[in-house]
Structure 1
Amino acid sequence: MTSPAEENGAAIIARFLANHGVARVYGLCGGHIMPIWMALDAVGIRIVDVRDERAAVHMAQAEAELTGRLGVALVTAGPGLTNAITGITNAHVSRAPVLVLSGAPPRPQENRGALQDLDHVQLVRPVTRYARTVREPALVPQELAEAFARAMGEGGDPGPSYLDFPTDTLRAQVPAPIVLSELMQPRVIARSVPHPDSVSRAVELLFSARRPLVISGRGARGAGPQLVALLDRLGCPYLDTGESRGLVPDDHPSVAAAMRGQAMGEADLIVTIGRRLDFQLAYGSPAIFGEARFLRIADAPSELRDNRPGTAILADPAETLAAILAAAGNRTPDLDGAWAEAMREGHRARSLKLQAALRGAPDGTDGRMHPNRLVAAIRDAVAAMPEARPILVTDGGDFLSFARVGLSAETMLDPGPFGCIGVGVPYGIAAALAAPDRTVVVATGDGAFGFNAIEIDTAVRHAAPVLIIVANNAAWQIEVHDQTVTHGRVVGTRLQEADHAAMARAFGMHAERVARAEDLPGALARALAHRPALLDVLVTADAVSSDAKSGLAWVPDLQPLETWDRAERAWREG
């Protein structure tokens, strides 16, 4: 795209985004950002207008997660920005490359009580990689380039960047000589390669370990083939996480997800690839991992040095794994084959038992189906359409516990390490728009659905072919269980038995309410054929999820799970 002799600030923003391949911007309009809004439309960037700014940032994050490219959200000043902060923070904790753009009152009105006058940067700086108010029109290209680089993780962790612009800055003309092409065009950044000494140390650790365990995370997403090659070579067990589901096929012989606790406790080497040792991995505590050594591979610093730094390699994971395999030559791993086989067989047996349990789960005393019956039906529907390469979005508190265990797909998205429930609907909409040739299914609890339920209007208006399935038990069920067991009474955690299908139909969406498990296959088939669609599925509140039993609800002092907490206390006491 050629540059005219002179452009205003808003036009420069639009051209920068177009040059960097941005096809969609998610946002909610407002006067302070209207110059950007109209400039985006002028260059052919699609605006997906939403009903709440939080959803806009969630959608931008989902697009970034699926494509590996920058996701962009545009929110107006004041409450527009404050509404967006939950989405920004979720992207921050998830290390997702998102650029959030906003506006501000014109410079002559600053600090005089103008409409929506607020120091946005002070609010978002702790949860962004870069945050600036751009007051000088000539600096618009430079600040855009810097914000883009920081969001994509050049020199550090990827994550959200934030820029806002006084409205008069957006309208001001910028002389063409200032708009340098090197600032406006995409740059090619070479992937970092590991030092040979680091590779040699890694080879020694991996091939001398008797019981190595590989765990992947977000940072491994670009290293799928190399990861599979490493597992093929070592023959060791492998655990995925919500950050990297689908990276290794479910039927790969190294997959040992159902043996997670035992594998973590018995391994003598833990290999993390682009994965933080956060609450989901017991912070790497010796109380859980015993005397195991740690080998950590990542190109993001936060995925190397948290809790248990071990032997660390700061380099591109794909390059590092390829270098390790090359350096190993014909060396044979010293694997405890009996242990690895026990992990494999244990995983297979438990997986088969789970599948049977899903389909045979009994109804509750209220006559409603068990959530596992719904999970089984979704599982069957997804498995029946491999050519559609389904994208599965799971969301919720209690229902997520059932879905996380029972559902699988080539690509999965969930609330992530921030535990930001409510992402399901906006993630699903963005996924359906970003990957229209794939089938997108959202499986969410009714509590989580309520956060962004209004975005079904967005799905209809933008013809986003998403299927939303709501597991409706009219409660925040993890909290209900905790209150019942711990406190003997239930306070403020029941919901009314709302008809979510009726609401969806009011917005023009195909929707059905399903009360019987035997009706699910037909309802799913109809919904898949008439997307966007919603199924409101009545499930029993009697079912107790694994997360409800584990301690997540009552928050133990030292570890997130009660069993881990007891082990941590015993270890600390010697």
Structure 2
Amino acid sequence: MTTPQISERSAAALVARFLKARGVDRVFALCGGHIMPMWMRLDAEGIRIIDVRDERAAVYMAHAHAELTGSLGVALVTAGPGVTNAMTGIANAFVARAQVLVLSGTPPRGQENRGALQDMVHTDFVRPITRYARTVREPDLLPGELAEALARAAGEGGEPGPVYLDIPVDTQRAEVTPAVQLPELFAPRPLRQIQPDPAEVAAAVELLWSAKRPLVISGRGAKGAGPALRRLLDATGALYLDTGESRGLVSDDHPGVVAAMRGSVMAEADLIVTVGRRLDFQLAYGSPAIFGDAKFLRIADCAAELRDNRRGAAEVFANVAATLEAMLALAAAGKRASATDRAWAQTVRAQHEARAAKLAASMARAEPGSDGLMHPNRLLAALRAALPEDAVVIADGGDFLSFARVGLPAATYLDPGSLGCIGVGTPFGVAAALACPGRTVVVATGDGAFGFNAMEIDTAARHRAPVLIVVANNGSWAIEVRDQQETHGRVVGTRLQFADHAAMARAFGLHGERVERAEDLDGAIRRALGALREGRPALLDVLVTPEAASSDAKSGLAWVPDLQALGAWDDAEKNWRAASRTN
């Protein structure tokens, strides 16, 4: 049997050269015959292949890499089940609007539609969850298709998000005509920035500088605008809420931050400024039932973050950083004084500080459950004390995510996002450890979420990704257990076992410890961080009580109310709608 050689003039070689020219230095992948030509040429070009244990993890890692570096994340998955396995990761990147390229292969063209191994029309599957999806059968079309795919991923002319290309394996082996390999297709290009319209900027300034109780809420689209956002808060005295998409842009010690007063400040504000943020379920869809008579100012560089659910009294469709800078310049030129009620802002900030301090103090002394197991907040308090300020924190899970989201501060933060895609923690952590050398990377995950991609600890070990995975092990899908107990009076299929995840970690070469007592936490965390400094990943399996009730478990997220995500919001929405019918 002769194995076809992969020429340096092949389509597979062109893919590798193209990615290298665009700055890609690593690809997250799982091998297979239908992608082997590209696999080998990537390696020949010096692009590092981070080989994973499941294709969805490859896409998760590409997603995290894109979020943390601001550059393209690339996943390479094989045909058939490789693509179907990857689809959850693609869907999560789609909802998160993450800049990801997914590459795959198909059977040779001569075997199409004949029942070949893994012969499926992948593009039909992935088209609804990608910004661009193509099968490239003609090798000479590949340079243009790659260039277009990357432009779509970055959001040039539309929403950013994942893109997909697959190439028949014989096309990968075929030669590409040198004449079509135009230099301009390979050259990196800065994303075209939409400049703000002066009239829209003037309307935004008038609205914000006139507001007495302005509240700024940031999201994905604000990521490149941190300095301008902070100056805007300073200039206006507006209060500020971040979300998981933008956490860390404004430090917790900024006087505008009022995260602990989220519910009340949303109701009190007379102007809501969304900065690159959708009004999704986490923000009550912008409903007047929650936000009252507040006006909205929407600022975004993509339509999905500009006019979903509520239109603004003023809207600016442009690069977010440029918009905020233009607003500041116009207000300064006009010597505009902000009308913000400083007494109101200071009162809310003081309430936030008091509530945050009370939470921090209570976490460290949280009582164990009747089963003798520690409260999850004891674990989070120990992590808070041990982690450096610049740590990269990834929170994952259902119930435990609710505790970690509130109890674990972070300058850089990732979580499952608005798709609720639990299981991202370990893959995100591996990618973060590789993308952020020298920084401490910790994954705080529930045991249920950890189980989705637990085998990726093998990837962490083989690639020496120094990530600390902390598993809060309560032996259950706790948020669902509580809902079943309280709503239905019995528990069905939501109990897990208190598996020894640390033993599993040690079997794969990680530093692994099982922690059963709160007094043993500090030493275990210290030893785990020591392993990271030696370049070795670590896992702590910490037994926590399933009896602890998180805010999400109490709020209604588990039982899914009809109109709003949270029970209190749902009641308010129903009352508001009922009142409109009687007036």
Whether TM exceeds 0.5 here: the answer is yes
- Give the drift of 1:338: 1.8
* In 2, Cα distance between equivalents of 1:234 and 1:182: 44
* In 1, Cα distance between equivalents of 2:8 and 2:420: 46
Conserved? CA contact 1:471–1:539, under 8 Å:
yes
Task: Give the share of equivalent positions with the same residue, in percent.
Answer: 69
- Residue 419 of structure 1 corresponds to 420
What do residues 492-511 of structure 1 show as CA deviations (whole Å, max 9, x unaligned)?
00001100000011111110
Q: Which of 520, 535, 544 lines up with 1:539 in the alignment?
A: 544
Counterpart amino acid of 1:457?
Answer: D
Do residues 315 (structure 1) and 318 (structure 2) align?
A: yes
- Give the drift of 1:312: 1.4
Counterpart amino acid of 2:460?
Answer: A
Counterpart amino acid of 1:555?
Answer: V
Q: Which of 109, 112, 115 lines up with 1:110 in the alignment?
A: 112
* In 2, Cα distance between equivalents of 1:258 and 1:189: 36
- Residue 432 of structure 1 corresponds to 433
Q: Which of 352, 365, 368 lines up with 2:370 in the alignment?
A: 365
- Residue 94 of structure 1 corresponds to 96
TM-score norm. by structure 2 comes to 0.96
* In 1, Cα distance between equivalents of 2:319 and 2:190: 15
- Give the drift of 1:61: 0.2
Helix, strand or coil at the partner of 1:432: helix
Helix, strand or coil at the partner of 2:562: coil
Conserved? CA contact 2:400–2:472, under 8 Å:
yes
- Residue 85 of structure 1 corresponds to 87
Aligned counterparts, 1:55-70, within 5 A? 55-70=57-72
* In 2, Cα distance between equivalents of 1:156 and 1:312: 17
Helix, strand or coil at the partner of 1:16: helix
* In 2, Cα distance between equivalents of 1:141 and 1:313: 35
- Residue 521 of structure 2 corresponds to 520
* In 2, Cα distance between equivalents of 1:438 and 1:309: 40
Counterpart amino acid of 2:35?
Answer: I
- Residue 326 of structure 1 corresponds to 329
Conserved? CA contact 2:156–2:192, under 8 Å:
no
- Give the drift of 1:142: 0.5
* In 1, Cα distance between equivalents of 2:227 and 2:195: 17
- Residue 400 of structure 1 corresponds to 401
* In 2, Cα distance between equivalents of 1:524 and 1:188: 42
- Give the drift of 1:190: 3.6
Helix, strand or coil at the partner of 2:304: helix
Counterpart amino acid of 2:522?
Answer: P
* In 2, Cα distance between equivalents of 1:323 and 1:190: 18
Aligned counterparts, 1:461-480, within 5 A? 461-480=462-481
What do residues 472-520 of structure 1 show as CA deviations (whole Å, max 9, x unaligned)?
0000000000000000000000001100000011111110000111111
What do residues 212-267 of structure 1 show as CA deviations (whole Å, max 9, x unaligned)?
10000010000000000000001111000000010001100000001111110011
- Give the drift of 1:189: 3.3
What do residues 342-387 of structure 1 show as CA deviations (whole Å, max 9, x unaligned)?
11011001001101110111011010100000010111111xx23x
- Residue 185 of structure 1 corresponds to 187
Aligned counterparts, 1:229-244, within 5 A? 229-244=231-246
* In 2, Cα distance between equivalents of 1:188 and 1:572: 47
Counterpart amino acid of 1:227?
Answer: L
Do residues 559 (structure 1) and 564 (structure 2) align?
A: yes
Conserved? CA contact 1:423–1:452, under 8 Å:
yes
Counterpart amino acid of 1:404?
Answer: R
* In 1, Cα distance between equivalents of 2:467 and 2:11: 36
Conserved? CA contact 2:482–2:553, under 8 Å:
yes
Conserved? CA contact 1:6–1:175, under 8 Å:
no
* In 2, Cα distance between equivalents of 1:565 and 1:374: 32
- Residue 353 of structure 1 corresponds to 358
Counterpart amino acid of 2:319?
Answer: D
- Residue 504 of structure 2 corresponds to 503
- Residue 488 of structure 1 corresponds to 489
* In 1, Cα distance between equivalents of 2:80 and 2:159: 28
- Residue 204 of structure 2 corresponds to 202
Aligned counterparts, 1:167-316, within 5 A? 167-310=169-312, 311-316=314-319
* In 2, Cα distance between equivalents of 1:277 and 1:189: 25
* In 2, Cα distance between equivalents of 1:212 and 1:432: 38
- Give the drift of 1:408: 1.0
* In 2, Cα distance between equivalents of 1:541 and 1:203: 49
What do residues 35-90 of structure 1 show as CA deviations (whole Å, max 9, x unaligned)?
00000000000000000000000000000000110000000000000000000000
Aligned counterparts, 1:372-387, within 5 A? 372-382=377-387, 385-386=388-389
- Residue 124 of structure 2 corresponds to 122
- Give the drift of 1:6: 7.0
Helix, strand or coil at the partner of 1:403: helix
Conserved? CA contact 1:368–1:516, under 8 Å:
yes
* In 2, Cα distance between equivalents of 1:55 and 1:48: 11
- Give the drift of 1:335: 1.0
- Residue 165 of structure 1 corresponds to 167
Do residues 339 (structure 1) and 344 (structure 2) align?
A: yes
RMSD over aligned Cα atoms:
0.8
- Residue 569 of structure 1 corresponds to 574
* In 2, Cα distance between equivalents of 1:530 and 1:179: 47
* In 1, Cα distance between equivalents of 2:82 and 2:201: 48
**Higher mean C-alpha deviation, range 26-35 or range 326-335:** 326-335
Helix, strand or coil at the partner of 1:173: coil
- Residue 143 of structure 1 corresponds to 145
Counterpart amino acid of 1:415?
Answer: P
Structure 2 gap ranges (5+): 1-6
Counterpart amino acid of 1:339?
Answer: W
Counterpart amino acid of 2:117?
Answer: L
* In 2, Cα distance between equivalents of 1:327 and 1:251: 27
Q: Which of 42, 45, 48 lines up with 2:47 in the alignment?
A: 45
Counterpart amino acid of 1:217?
Answer: G
Counterpart amino acid of 1:320?
Answer: T
Conserved? CA contact 1:429–1:464, under 8 Å:
yes
* In 2, Cα distance between equivalents of 1:249 and 1:543: 29
Conserved? CA contact 2:26–2:74, under 8 Å:
yes
Conserved? CA contact 1:395–1:414, under 8 Å:
yes
Helix, strand or coil at the partner of 2:167: strand
Helix, strand or coil at the partner of 1:118: coil
* In 2, Cα distance between equivalents of 1:189 and 1:209: 34
* In 2, Cα distance between equivalents of 1:487 and 1:141: 57
* In 2, Cα distance between equivalents of 1:328 and 1:496: 60
* In 2, Cα distance between equivalents of 1:546 and 1:572: 26
* In 1, Cα distance between equivalents of 2:368 and 2:573: 37
Helix, strand or coil at the partner of 2:330: helix
Helix, strand or coil at the partner of 1:312: strand
- Give the drift of 1:184: 1.3
**Higher mean C-alpha deviation, range 79-88 or range 356-365:** 356-365
Structure 1 gap ranges (5+): none
Helix, strand or coil at the partner of 2:225: helix
Conserved? CA contact 1:6–1:174, under 8 Å:
no
- Give the drift of 1:187: 1.5
